[in-house]
Amino acid sequence: MSFDSASQPLVEMSNIEKHFGGIRAVNGVSLDLYPGEVVGVLGHNGAGKSCLMRILSGAMIANEGTIKVNGERAEIQNPHDARDLGIETIYQTLALADHLNAPANLFLGRELKTRLGNLDDRKMMAETQRVLRKLNPNFKNLDDPVAKLSGGQRQVIAIARAIYFNVKILIMDEPTAALGPSETAMVADLIKGLRSDGIGILLVSHDMHDVFELCDRVVVMNKGRNVGTHLIEDVTKDDVLSLIIKGELPGDWVPRGRERLQ
Ligand SMILES: Nc1ncnc2c1ncn2[C@@H]1O[C@H](COP(=O)(O)OP(=O)(O)OP(=O)(O)O)[C@@H](O)[C@H]1O
Ligand SMILES: [Mg+2]
């Protein structure tokens, strides 16, 4: 296990509820995340994964429940509050401003200024080069509008933005869904690097291969509920599929690690 479960959790979400009219999109869900840990958040379409993540990122407000960050109660009313707590989000939609270049995207809304209050384009370019080189030494075309970049390069910019602003908790909602295989592998490597820097990552994914390669634990949601939180070494892909589809483990389930010891 790479993460330190003896330390204080970075995030503790407790009994979170989100209703839309009669729909209980998130129904009493609790989840925690430790430094240096990747927790997979799995479930069918409509299970409530994105709503739960949006509540943590301040894009949606829960009807009930509490959130603690570093052991302290957090009132996350909007994305700004989340950012102040070191929470950043990366979406599958590669949400960047297409007509702007990489530095402009990296610093969007948090532009660096000169002492006179003008945009410090030179510094933003230099900082962008520094961060992007660390992530991907082959990164070029920093002056081009990001619309011209590949999906993988765009995702690198999104990740660079999170790193530059000292992310502690990174929410990745299907970060590889729009990428090809080699770009997916690159993002997987980035996730491993972020985790070894002590960042906690919530990874929403439908890709069982990614989940078993990257996650320390999984949380499975079914119809708005958390139907299982498990260490990845305790479950098989079939166990996880059973939780996703039926909302329960196979009838004969015992933790896989223990089964092997018997
Ligand atoms: N803004 C909204 N208004 C009304 N209903 C919503 C809203 N956002 C989500 N829902 C509903 O809440 C439920 C959970 O949606 P959510 O987007 O969290 O699912 P998901 O697990 O992320 O699914 P997917 O795998 O398709 O991304 C769904 O029934 C969805 O239709
Ligand atoms: Mg979703």
Task: Give the residue-averaged pLDDT of 59-86.
Answer: 95
Residue 175 lies in a domain: yes
Task: For residue 248, give Cα distances in angstroms to 27, 29, 43, 54, 221.
Answer: 16, 16, 12, 25, 10
Residue 209 has φ and ψ, to the nearest 5°, of -65, -50
Query: In 1-101, which ranges are continuous DSSP H helix?
Result: 49-56, 79-84
| Atom of ligand 1 lying closest to residue 224 CA | 14
Indicate the pLDDT class of residue 14, thresholds 50, 70 and 90.
very high
Residue 174 Cα to ligand 2 middle (Å): 8
pLDDT, residue 147, reads: 87
Residue 156 lies in a domain: no
Residue 130 lies in a domain: no
Task: Tell me the pTM.
Answer: 0.89
Residue 45 Cα to ligand 2 middle (Å): 7
Residue 198 Cα to ligand 2 middle (Å): 25
More confident residue, 134 or 250: 250
**Would you say residue 162 has pLDDT above 60?**
yes
d(CA 213, CA 16): 28
Indicate the pLDDT class of residue 148, thresholds 50, 70 and 90.
confident
Q: Do residues 216 and 189 touch, judged by C-beta distance below 8 A? A: no
pLDDT averaged over the chain? Answer: 89
Indicate the pLDDT class of residue 217, thresholds 50, 70 and 90.
very high
Residue 58 lies in a domain: yes
Starting at the edge strand found earlier in the chain, the sheet holding 38-42 runs 87-91, 169-173, 200-204, 38-42, 217-222, 225-231
C-alpha distance across the termini of the chain, in Å? 21
pLDDT, residue 132, reads: 84
Indicate the pLDDT class of residue 261, thresholds 50, 70 and 90.
low
50 lines ligand 1 (CB under 6 A): yes
46 lines ligand 1 (CB under 6 A): yes
- Beta strands in 78-215, from DSSP E residues, in sequence order: 87-91, 169-173, 200-204
Residue 104 Cα to ligand 1 middle (Å): 31
Residue of 13, 17, 18, 20 to test ligand 1 pocket, by largest number of atoms within 8 Å of CB: 20
**Would you say residue 259 has pLDDT above 70?**
no
Domain at 55, CATH number = 3.40.50.300
Q: Do residues 186 and 152 touch, judged by C-beta distance below 8 A? A: yes
pLDDT, residue 240, reads: 95
Q: Do residues 229 and 218 touch, judged by C-beta distance below 8 A? A: yes
Residue 206 Cα to ligand 1 middle (Å): 15
Residue 136 lies in a domain: no
Residue 137 lies in a domain: no
Domain range for 247 is 11-97+167-261
Residue 74 lies in a domain: yes
Total domains in the chain come to: 1
Q: For ligand 1, atom 18, name the residue with the nearest CA.
A: 48
Residue 159 lies in a domain: no
d(CA 260, CA 69): 36
Which string of DSSP letters, residue by residue, matches 171-205?
EEESTTTTS-HHHHHHHHHHHHHHHHTT-EEEEE-
49 lines ligand 1 (CB under 6 A): yes
257 lines ligand 1 (CB under 6 A): no
Indicate the pLDDT class of residue 44, thresholds 50, 70 and 90.
very high
Q: Do residues 218 and 230 touch, judged by C-beta distance below 8 A? A: yes
Q: For ligand 1, atom 16, name the residue with the nearest CA.
A: 48
d(CA 187, CA 171): 14
